[in-house]
Structures are given as structure tokens and as C-alpha cells.
Amino acid sequence: MEPLVSEIKQKFQPRLKPIEWRGDRLVLLDQRILPFETRYIEAKTVEDVAHAIRDMAVRGAPAIGITAAFGMVLALVEKTPSNTQEALKTLARAREILSKTRPTAVNLFWALDRMYNKAVELTSSASSVRELRDGLEKEALKIFEEELDAEIKMGLYGAELLEDGDTVLTICNAGGLATGTGLGTATAPIYIASMLGKRVSVIAPETRPWQQGARLTVYELMQNGIRTTLIADTAVGLVMYRRLVDIVMVGADRILLDGHVFNKIGTLNEAVLAHEFGIPFYVLAPTSTIDTRSRVEDVKIEERSPDEVRTVRTAQGSVYVTLKEVAVYNPVFDVTPPKYVTGIITERGVATHPLSINLRKLLNKT
């Protein structure tokens, strides 16, 4: 598969660069104001990175992980510790700050642990803080490259499931904006199938309240020439009932070993409806999104500001669509039980039922 991965890596020139490392700063495409305005923000400190993740200037499980990884490097850039032991203390503080930004996407914690453990390993041989920082920078860049390779492999596995003329239903944005690489997870099969000559189109629900579908998925798919139809979230049932959907492909923020999938709010609705209408429902995620330790009850489902539901984003900024005083409950993820999942597509292959056994097999695959 490797030669094909290299060929596709050369062929796929993403229009968007959501995350760019500049050696002493991170340049992030501000996703809070797309598609109305293309604005980049510079993150030069750990706090800058924490704010960008918390405020969703950058979002999407893999993109959050990659951004946090570079945030750990910036911890040694913004103020150079006096020695490598002080550097470890600085990195522990940075991990603490970044781990508090958003609770559901496991990629954040996976990336922070990987970077900190790498730092511990490097301090045993690094003769200076600069050597430690250079080693950490290499690790963050490696995470980015591994993520892109994983998406290409997921895309190849997923593209095999797509026929010429198929329509894919998605949710939220699990595209190149959500992973930072420009290819995405749920969108990777769509881009690669199209590259391989299959005419694939997409139905993208707007994905209230943050509108990742209407503002981000529509934007990136159309930029990449994919035929896209936007629908209201409440229309997913009817498009399935009318057989307008051949397959559902969604991303994930956290997948448990028993096959429970945490993803954007509304994913459960699509999964249950797809199961009812006999439509294949696939989840796409790199193995860095698989949480091998938690049970369903251990996972915190993020709740965000009530104003995300009370308002809608427009080119002029957010406008209220209801009474400002109304009470709001705003969970931004849900959890889909494994019975509603046809398969989980990772860079190591596709796990089908029994998911609990086959996910472990994929993780143990060398």
C-alpha cells in the first residue's frame, strides 16, 4: 500500500492549510469565521494554543491533537528553561493547561502523553534544552505526517466501499479542516474515490449549533470539486427514507474498544436511522482515536456555551435566533452504541463485528 500512499500524497494538493508550523509559531486557519472570511492566527505560546483549541479556532479530533503537540514545543520556545529538568517541569505545566481545553476528543490526550513521554526519553540523552526542543519538534512533525499517512490509508479502504455514482451522508466536518492535513477522515474516501475516477457526491447536514457542516464541510468539499448538497439536520431521516443515501461515513472523537463511538451531536440519530433503513454506517478514524482504557461512563461529553444554540453564525457575526434568556442544554457530542455501526475504518484496516475483538486485532497488527 505504501507506494500508493506516496503517489496519492503527491497527487492530493489540498486547497487549505489549516495548520502550519513555522519553527517558533503555529499558523492556524481560523475556523470560527469560515467560509465568510479566510483569516489566519499565530500561536506563539501555550496559552495561545489553549485558547485556539478551547475557542474552536482549530477543531476536529486529529487537528486538536496535532495543535496540542506543537503547543508542547512552544512551551520551550516562549521561555527557554535553564536545563532539561526544568524543561520537563515546563512541559508538565503545558500538558496540564492544554489537557483542560476540551474533554471529549481522545487525540488531545494521546498527543500530549506522546509528547511528554518523548521528552522524558530525550532528557536521558539530550545535552541541552535546545536539543530537547529539536527532538520534540521532530516528534510533533512526525505526528502530523503519521496523521496524513493514516488518512490516505483510511481513504483507500473507504474508497473500496464506494461505487461510481454513490451518495455519502456525513455529519459535522471530518474533513481536512478537522485533521489539519487537508484530506480528512470521513472525507478521505470521497476525495480518493474521486481521484480514482468514481463520481461520488455528498449530502452534508448543517450540524447545528456550530454549523461545521454548513460552514466548513460544504466549503472544503466545493473547494475540492465534490458535488455537495446541504440539508438541515432534521432532514437526515427523509433523505434516508427516500433512498437518497447509499452509505453514511462519519468521523470520531473517541472510539472505545467495545465499539462505542463518541462523535458530533447528531451522529447517534444518523446511526439509528441508517440501521432502521438498512444503510451501511461507517466510522473513520486513525487508531490514535481509539481509547483502550475508558468505559462509556468514564467519557465526558463536552457541553458548550448556551449562546452557541441561541445564535447562528453569519458573515456579519453571530445573530440571536431566539430569546436571550431561554435556558439551553448544549451537549456537542453523543455516543453511538456498536450495534448501529457497520464498521470502523482505520489506517490499519476495517474493523467489522464483533467490533470488540476486531478493534483489538487491528491495534495488535504490526
Ligand X SMILES: CSC[C@H]1O[C@H](OP(=O)(O)O)[C@H](O)[C@@H]1O
Q: Which residues bind ligand X (CB under 6 A)?
A: 59-62, 172, 174, 178-179, 185, 212, 251, 253, 263-264, 332
Residue 134 annotated as catalytic: no
In this complex, which beta carbon is closest to ligand X, that of residue 62 or of residue 343? 62
In angstroms, the CA 345 to CA 328 distance is 35
In this complex, which beta carbon is closest to ligand X, that of residue 184 or of residue 338? 184
In angstroms, the CA 102 to CA 218 distance is 25
In angstroms, the CA 174 to CA 284 distance is 9
What the block records as the C-alpha cell of 142 is 512526525
In this complex, which beta carbon is closest to ligand X, that of residue 213 or of residue 338? 213
Residues at the binding site for substrate are 59-61, 102, 212, 263-264
Residues at the binding site are 59-61, 102, 212, 263-264
In this complex, which beta carbon is closest to ligand X, that of residue 153 or of residue 264? 264
Burial degree of 330 (CB within 10 A; 0-12, 13-18, 19+): middle
Strand 19-21 and strand 26-29: the pairing is antiparallel
Residue 97 neighbours by CB distance under 10 Å: 16
Taking the complex as a whole, the smallest distance from the CB of residue 102 to ligand X amounts, in Å, to 7
Residues 6+ apart with CB under 8 A from 206: 213, 214, 230, 231, 232, 233
In angstroms, the CA 120 to CA 104 distance is 26
In this complex, which beta carbon is closest to ligand X, that of residue 59 or of residue 260? 59
Residues 6+ apart with CB under 8 A from 79: 90
Taking the complex as a whole, the smallest distance from the CB of residue 363 to ligand X amounts, in Å, to 19
In this complex, which beta carbon is closest to ligand X, that of residue 188 or of residue 359? 188
Side by side, which strands form the sheet with 261-264? 290-291, 254-256, 261-264, 333-336
Pick from 328, 362, 336, 329: nearest CA to 347: 362
Taking the complex as a whole, the smallest distance from the CB of residue 362 to ligand X amounts, in Å, to 18
Taking the complex as a whole, the smallest distance from the CB of residue 22 to ligand X amounts, in Å, to 23
- Specify the DSSP element, H or E, that contains 63: helix 61-78
Candidate list 149, 253, 291, 307, residue with the active-site label: 253
Output the residue with the shortest Cβ distance to ligand X: 251
Taking the complex as a whole, the smallest distance from the CB of residue 277 to ligand X amounts, in Å, to 21
Taking the complex as a whole, the smallest distance from the CB of residue 238 to ligand X amounts, in Å, to 22
Q: How far is CA 77 from the centre of its chain?
A: 26
What the block records as the C-alpha cell of 15 is 486547497
Q: Indicate which residues carry an active-site annotation.
A: 253
